[in-house]
Amino acid sequence: MTPDYPVTLDVRGRRVLVVGAGPVAERRVRMLRASGACVDVVAPRATDGLRALADAGEICWKRREFEPGDLTGPTRAWLVHTATGRADIDDLVAREAQAEAIWCVQAGDSSRSAAWMPAVGVGRGDADGLQVAVTGGGDPRRSVALRDAILVAMETGDLPVTRIRGTEATRAERTGRVALVGGGPGADDLITVRGRRLLAHADVVVTDRLGATGLLDRLPQRTRIIDVGKTPGHHPVPQWEINEILVREAKEGQFVVRLKGGDPFVLGRGGEEMLHCAAHGIPVEVVPGVTSAVAVPAAAGIPVTQRGVTASFVVASAHDGPEHVLAAARSAAPDATLVLLMGITRLAETAAGLIAGGRARHTPVAIVESGWTDRQRVTTTTLDRAADDARAAGARNPAVIVIGDVVTVRHELQALGALAP
């Protein structure tokens, strides 16, 4: 059982004595003044900040060493802080305070103190109005580290900070809005900090089957989730209806997050959704995501550009056949890396078209399935064998196909032991 008993003190109008006037003492004085305490400071020297407070009449500063009578005169102190930097003086103050039954906080050595000052922080943004106080078992540095971690979690949405009381009553009066949030390539922790924060405060989440969908289980129970996920050849909710859902929910005063895999504006139809919302007067915010076109090859140890290999890459959708891929390849540098999304189904046609268009038959190819998840699998092959090898391996979407000499970097990393075979 720990010996400390957490409590919050109301110091308004009460006399608090601070012994010492260095930087630590100044922080304590400013917090006490902000809380409404009447502060007396005893110290032969003071920081410029404390001097300014004394000159302004906000504190009473006695320019000398501590004397036992300081605890009880001119009026009895209600609380004492000692932060002189000298153990002998701090101990003297603590002994005198104990004799007078006055609580004393020793900043220099918490193990010799009868009271502790927590690390305090105030939330910002959606956490505005929340105060965090952490004792850390009397370890000041530990307290500060924990406080900072909690504040970050509050700001990023990992801790719930949304107001609950009054939310339903005010929703009808609110102006709805939409945020198009890129969820990244698959791993839950690859969503941006901003995207994670907005997701935590959403009233409605309209989600795909890709991206940081694991975060949905950690949302507040009040959050309504609408799944519009598409699979190849199966679109249960067409794009026009998704657009209408965003507008309808926002017009009801909801904050709607459209959670998409990768980046909303990289083959994610985010532009269409943004235009539709804007046309209906709905405010739209776009939060970029880590695009799968670059991140998934990286997960397999494949940079899409590499000095001495290629200085450019092209991203294309192969879902509707090779036409878009071939057009992109024709306009790109001969050595440019081709990154194909949604290309498994028609890979045979795409590969044949690229070879007919001049790409070497033995151009290295990597097929990366379910990148950044525990189901990730990589199949390396060549352009002329890509379709057969994908079929033999049972390759399935979601997958990213990388075509180009940069694929050999993966082999080099494997030879160095930096990647599993």
Q: What's the pLDDT score for residue 1? A: 47
Which one has a higher pLDDT value, 73 or 287?
A: 287
CB contact burial 279-311 (16+ within 10 A = b; e otherwise): eeebebebbbbbbbbbbbbebbbbbbeeeeebe
| 42-56, 201-215, 270-284, 333-347: least confidently modelled range | 201-215
Please name every residue paired with 367 in a beta bridge, in sequence order, or none if there are none. Answer: 379, 401
Average pLDDT (226-254) is: 86
Q: pTM value?
A: 0.69
pLDDT above 70: residue 300: yes
Range of lowest pLDDT (125-129, 243-247, 343-347, 356-360): 125-129
* 294-415 homologous superfamily: Tetrapyrrole methylase, C-terminal domain (3.30.950.10)
Per CATH, the homologous superfamily of domain 15-117 is: NAD(P)-binding Rossmann-like Domain (3.40.50.720)
Tell whether the model's pLDDT for residue 266 goes beyond 90: yes
Q: What pairs with residue 402 in β-bridges?
A: 339, 366
Q: Does position 169 have pLDDT exceeding 50, yes or no?
A: no
Q: What is the DSSP string of 208-267?
A: -SSSSGGGGGGS-TT-EEEE---BTTB-SS-HHHHHHHHHHHHHTT-EEEEEESB-TTSS
Q: Are 412 and 366 in contact (CB under 8 A)?
A: no
**What is the mean pLDDT of the segment spanning 353-369?**
96
CA–CA separation, 80 vs 16, rounded Å? 6
d(CA 243, CA 258): 10
pLDDT in tens, 55-88: 999 999 999 999 989 999 889 999 999 999 999 9
Q: Are 366 and 401 in contact (CB under 8 A)?
A: yes
**What percentage of the chain exceeds 70 in pLDDT?**
88
Closest CA to 364 of 311, 309, 321, 325: 309
Helix (H, G, I), strand (E, B) or coil at 292: helix
Cα–Cα distance for residue pair 367/383, rounded to 1 Å: 11
pLDDT at 294: 97
Q: Report d(CA 274, CA 257) in Å as an integer.
A: 12
Looking at the annotation, which residues are catalytic? 208, 230
Q: Are 79 and 9 in contact (CB under 8 A)?
A: yes
For the chain, give the mean pLDDT: 88
- Confidence band for 164, pLDDT divided at 50, 70 and 90: low
Higher per-residue pLDDT: 116 or 385: 385
Measure CA of the first residue to CA of the last residue in the chain; give whole Å: 51
Looking at the predicted structure, is the pLDDT value of residue 167 above 60? no
- Homologous superfamily in CATH for domain 167-290: Tetrapyrrole methylase, N-terminal domain (3.40.1010.10)
Q: Look at 18-32, 62-76, 121-135, 136-150 and tell me which has the smallest mean pLDDT.
A: 121-135
Paired sense of beta strands 15-19 and 79-82, if any: parallel
What mean pLDDT is predicted for residues 100-108? 87
Give the dihedral sign, CA 213/218/223/224: positive
Is 207 in contact with 394 (CB distance < 8 Å)? no
* Residue 307: pLDDT over 50: yes
3-state SS record for 93-144: HHHHHHHCCCEEEECCCHHHCCECCCEEEECCHHHCCCEEEECHHHCHHHHH
Q: What is the phi/psi pair of residue 417, to 5°?
A: 80, 10
Give CA–CA dist 151/155, Å, rounded.
Answer: 6
Q: Is residue 125 predicted with pLDDT exceeding 70?
A: no
CB 126 within 8 Å of CB 161:
yes
What would the mean pLDDT of 127-149 be, rounded to a whole number?
72
Q: Is the pLDDT of residue 283 over 70?
A: yes
Q: Is the pLDDT of residue 118 over 70?
A: yes
Note the pLDDT of residue 32: 95
CA angle (302 as vertex; 301, 307 as ends), nearest 5: 120
Q: Are strands 337-341 and 255-260 parallel, antiparallel or unpaired?
A: unpaired
* CB within 8 Å of 88: residues ≥ 6 apart: none
